[in-house]
Amino acid sequence: MTRLGIITIGQAPRTDLTPEITALLPRAAVVERGVLDGLTRAGIEARPPRADEHALTTRLADGSPVVIGESLVMERLPGVLAELERETDAVLLACTGGFPRLEHAKPLFVPDRMIAFGAAALLGETGRLGVLCPLPEQREDTAAKFGRRLPAGARVLTEACSPYTGTGEELAAAAARLAAGGAELLALDCVGYTGEMRARAAAASGLPVVLARSVCARLAAEVLDSLDARTGAAS
């Protein structure tokens, strides 16, 4: 059986995330690791995001949310990735944040590109894409990330609602505002957003919604199935 490594930028296990991903990968065994594994909350909070870096939100092993800086992630991520590659056939980075290029020896699934290019492929040449991101301070970067991948005549609208601390009502209201602003398609740009949240956003907006975690899992399944077939042919 093919083994897929999942790296969260928080702590493993991610009981809010992994079951939805594994449901879409019935022929893969999953191995989880967290960039913050082994750190205490006090140690993490002693390294808040700097003013000049991207802020990211994630979840700790006890289920509580935390906001961290990209620099803390990048100090630890390469080592976690290298270790996990020794145990698996491919790795999924469970974060839609944009990171510098990571050295890897096996297939690496990067949601940042997968959700942005996927949404662009579904949008018309002059369409409006509504994107929901976790933090208000992420909205500008989110608009730029998707804007780079969209056709020249398309537009990006953004709203913020955390999948970890926001309520269902707040998420629905944000989705409705995007629809009222003219969005034709919604993208939930964080792997923390769940299938239930997608359904709520779709109901509130009346629009089709693409969910980062399922987009990544479905595309990963395509590659993992081919790895299975290759292994079977070799044997």
In this predicted model, what pLDDT tens digit does every residue of 105-157 receive, in sequence order?
Answer: 999 999 999 999 999 999 988 899 999 999 999 999 999 999 999 988 899 99
- What integer is the mean pLDDT of 51-68? 96
Q: In what order do the strands lie in the sheet with 128-133?
A: 155-160, 128-133, 185-188, 209-211
- Is residue 187 left, alpha or beta, with left meaning phi > 0 and alpha meaning psi from -120 to 50? beta
Q: Return the SS3 of 89.
A: coil
Report pLDDT digits (tens) over 170-200: 999 999 999 999 999 999 999 999 999 999 9
Q: What pLDDT does residue 168 have?
A: 98
Q: Quote the CA–CA distance of 201 and 132 in Å, as a whole number.
A: 10
* Secondary structure of residue 136 in the 3-state scheme: helix
What is each CA distance from 184 to 93, 103, 116, 136, 179, in whole angstroms? 28, 36, 15, 22, 7
> How many H-runs (helices) and E-runs (strands) does the chain carry?
8, 10
The one-letter amino acid code at 177 reads R
Q: Per-residue confidence at 230, pLDDT binned at 50, 70, 90?
A: low
What gap in Å lies between CA 5 and CA 85, rounded to an integer? Answer: 7
Name beta bridge partners: 109.
Answer: 92
Domain boundaries, the chain: 2-110+214-234, 113-212
Q: State the helix-helix crossing angle for 168-180 and 195-205, rounded to 10 degrees.
A: 40
User: Does 113-212 match 2-110+214-234 at the fold level?
Assistant: yes
State pTM to two decimals. 0.92
CATH level 3 topology of 2-110+214-234 = Rossmann fold (3.40.50)
Crossing angle for the helix pair 212-234 and 111-122, to the nearest 10 degrees: 110
43 Cβ partners below 8 Å, 6+ apart? none
Options 3.40.50.920, 3.40.50.360, 3.50.50.60, 3.40.50.12500; CATH for 113-212 is 3.40.50.12500
Q: Does the structure show a pLDDT above 50 at 67?
A: yes
